[in-house]
Each structure stands twice: as structure tokens, then as C-alpha cells.
Amino acid sequence: MPELPEVEVTRQSFAGRIAEARIDAVRTGLPLRWPLGCDPQSLVGRTVLQVRRRGKYLLLDMDRGLLLMHLGMSGSLVFASSLPVAGKHDHFELSTSRGVLRLNDPRRFGAVVYAESQEAPVARKLLGGLGVEPLEEGFTAELLYGGLRQRQTAIKQVLLAGELVVGVGNIYASEALFLAGIRPTTRAVRISRPRALKLHAAVRDVLARAVAKGGSTLRDFSNAHGESGYFQLEANVYGRAGEPCKVCATPIKMVKQGQRSTFFCPNCQKT
């Protein structure tokens, strides 16, 4: 699933090129996770002002309303001056004065949703429960520590939930917990202030490096230029079950948490 770094990399790869573009045509394919919420032809003639990100959502602000895009489990966007005829997995397309933006999503868990504004009920439903952005100033060590003190569940599950801090997906939660020396199964409430400070720094470091590396391409992720990410090549624990820890040579272990694979070093992350 594309996580925050992949979504941010995607945003960066086409936001500047589509800004101020006029929408000339809209094409929809098979239904996605949620309905568009408007007549596709009503978007024709509108102008894309900018592209923002909130958690794993891309927000295309227009001169009237906005589109909220989610890549789901397997979605990707491409933006080019022209594209081949749409294939069976191409389910949404904006033809604009600056190029064509196309969503490809084989599993159709992604979505494109129209909202009159970010305060509209549909937008508030999708975005209202999201936590603070981890790469922005509002994500402080004290905020993280205070939030952890109120949660009894395992720290990895807290990071994935997105209510305290948004966008720390499965790969990056495993990597951040390794850097902080915290076992993924440790209850959040048990994490001390000094360890929370380490985790705060680790989350920011891992996500920033992932964005710089173009995200992670485990199967088929690519940005709007069609370029793959490379962060997975420097992972310390994720996807390395049975391989020696890069720090202490202890074999990396894998456990299941909430039906997701969690990787950790039993020596470097004792508690």
C-alpha cells in the first residue's frame, strides 16, 4: 500500500506541472472504493489551482471545489502530456490543458471523491479523524509522549492507527521503532519520555529519508513520472526476517500484528 512518503513523492512529481491547468475532459472507468459524488462532466472547465497532501490523501484544489484522491492498496497516478488508450485498470482520468492525469488501480481500493470544500461533510468524514502530520512543526516530541500515555495498545498499532500521528505506515513504523530501540509489541503507555523523544526523532528521520529516496517500491509503486522508489534497499528490519541485524547480527524476527507483518531485532529492541 502506498504510504505517506509514496503519496508525497507522487504529489511532488506532478503538482507543479498541473497547477493552473484547465480541465478539458473527464473519463471514469469501473467504480472505485467510493463514488465520485458529482457528475464527472461538471468538472470540465474548472481550473486546478494546486495539489496538497493530508495523510495519504491528495487534495486537488480547484477554482470551485476539490478532489480528494486516495491510492488505496495498489493505485498509482501518472501525469504526462499524452497517454496511450486507457487500459482495464485505468479508472479515472483528467485531461487538462497541461497534460493528462490518470489513476491506475488494479484492486480498485483507491478513490476519487469530489467535495465542495474541505469543510464539506464528505471531506470532514475522510479527513476529520486524521492525526498531526509527522513532517510538520505541529508534530512535537511532547505531543507524541502525551498521546502515548493515553493508549494501552501496542506502540506499532498506535503508529499505524493514524489518530495520533498520520501516515506512519507499516514499513516506516517498523523502521522507526528499530531506530528508537523499541519493541513493536510494547504497550504505548509504558514508553518513557526519553524513549518517546527517540521515537519522535526516528519517525521524522525515517519518513524524511523515504521521501528523499522516492518512497518504497515493493511491487509496483511509481510516481507520476513512472519512477520507482529506493528506500526499501536501505531498510534495517522490514522484509528481512531471518537475515542478520545490521547492528548486532542477531536474526531479524517477524510477527503478525493486526494482520500486518512486523519486523524487529530481538536484541536491539528488547522492550
Tell me: the pLDDT tens digits for 84-117? 999 999 999 999 999 999 999 999 999 999 999 9
CA distances from 64 to 79, 118, 190 (A): 22, 11, 48
Q: CB neighbours (10 Å) of residue 81?
A: 8
| Burial (CB count within 10 angstroms: exposed 0-12, middle 13-18, buried 19+), residue 180 | buried
Choosing from 96, 127, 158, the residue where a domain stops is 127
CA–CA dist 213, 231 (Å, integer): 5
Which pLDDT does position 74 carry in this prediction?
Answer: 86
Contact at 8 Å (CB) between 220 and 209? no
> Is there a single domain that holds both residue 180 and residue 236?
yes
C-alpha cell at 215: 518512497
Residue 133: inside a domain:
no
Choosing from 67, 101, 127, the residue where a domain stops is 127
Beta carbons within 8 Å of 271's beta carbon, 6+ residues apart: 182, 183, 186
> Is there a single domain that holds both residue 173 and residue 260?
yes
> Is there a single domain that holds both residue 109 and residue 159?
no
Say which of 3, 6, 8, 175 is annotated catalytic: 3
Q: Is 17 a catalytic residue?
A: no
> Is there a single domain that holds both residue 59 and residue 86?
yes
Share of the chain above pLDDT 90, in %: 84
> Is there a single domain that holds both residue 213 and residue 172?
yes
Residue 23: inside a domain:
yes
Which pLDDT does position 1 carry in this prediction?
Answer: 65
Residue 197: inside a domain:
yes
Instruction: Specify the DSSP class assigned to residue 187.
Output: B
What average pLDDT score do residues 258-265 get? 93
Share of the chain above pLDDT 70, in %: 93
CA–CA dist 167, 190 (Å, integer): 23
Which pLDDT does position 73 carry in this prediction?
Answer: 85
How many domains are there within the chain?
Answer: 2
Residue 136: inside a domain:
no
Choosing from 98, 127, 156, the residue where a domain stops is 127
Range of the domain at 91: 4-127
Q: Which amino acid is at 8?
A: E
Which pLDDT does position 233 carry in this prediction?
Answer: 73
> What is the pTM for the complete model shown?
0.89
Residue 187: inside a domain:
yes
Question: What are the pLDDT digits (tens) for 27-44?
Answer: 999 999 999 999 999 999
**pLDDT band for position 2 (cuts 50, 70, 90):** confident
Residue 135: inside a domain:
no
Residue 270: inside a domain:
no
Q: Is 234 a catalytic residue?
A: no
Question: What are the pLDDT digits (tens) for 198-253?
Answer: 999 999 999 998 888 876 644 444 445 555 445 667 889 999 999 999 999 999 99
**Helix (H), strand (E) counts: the chain:** 6, 10
What average pLDDT score do residues 57-62 get? 98
> Is there a single domain that holds both residue 95 and residue 194?
no
> Is there a single domain that holds both residue 227 and residue 203?
yes
Contact at 8 Å (CB) between 252 and 234? no
Which pLDDT does position 228 carry in this prediction?
Answer: 46
Residue 269: inside a domain:
no
> Is there a single domain that holds both residue 193 and residue 103?
no
> Is there a single domain that holds both residue 147 and residue 234?
yes
> Is there a single domain that holds both residue 177 and residue 112?
no
CATH code: domain of residue 206: 1.10.8.50
Q: Is 213 a catalytic residue?
A: no
Q: Compute the C-alpha angle 15/110/257, nearest 5°.
A: 110
Say which of 22, 151, 204, 260 is annotated catalytic: 260
Say which of 17, 53, 56, 102 is annotated catalytic: 56
Q: Is 190 a catalytic residue?
A: no
Which pLDDT does position 221 carry in this prediction?
Answer: 47
CATH code: domain of residue 119: 3.20.190.10
What average pLDDT score do residues 8-21 get? 95
CA distances from 158 to 35, 66, 76, 130, 222 (A): 29, 30, 27, 13, 28
> Is there a single domain that holds both residue 123 and residue 9?
yes
Question: What are the pLDDT digits (tens) for 164-205?
Answer: 999 898 999 999 999 999 999 999 999 999 999 999 999 999
> Is there a single domain that holds both residue 77 and residue 174?
no
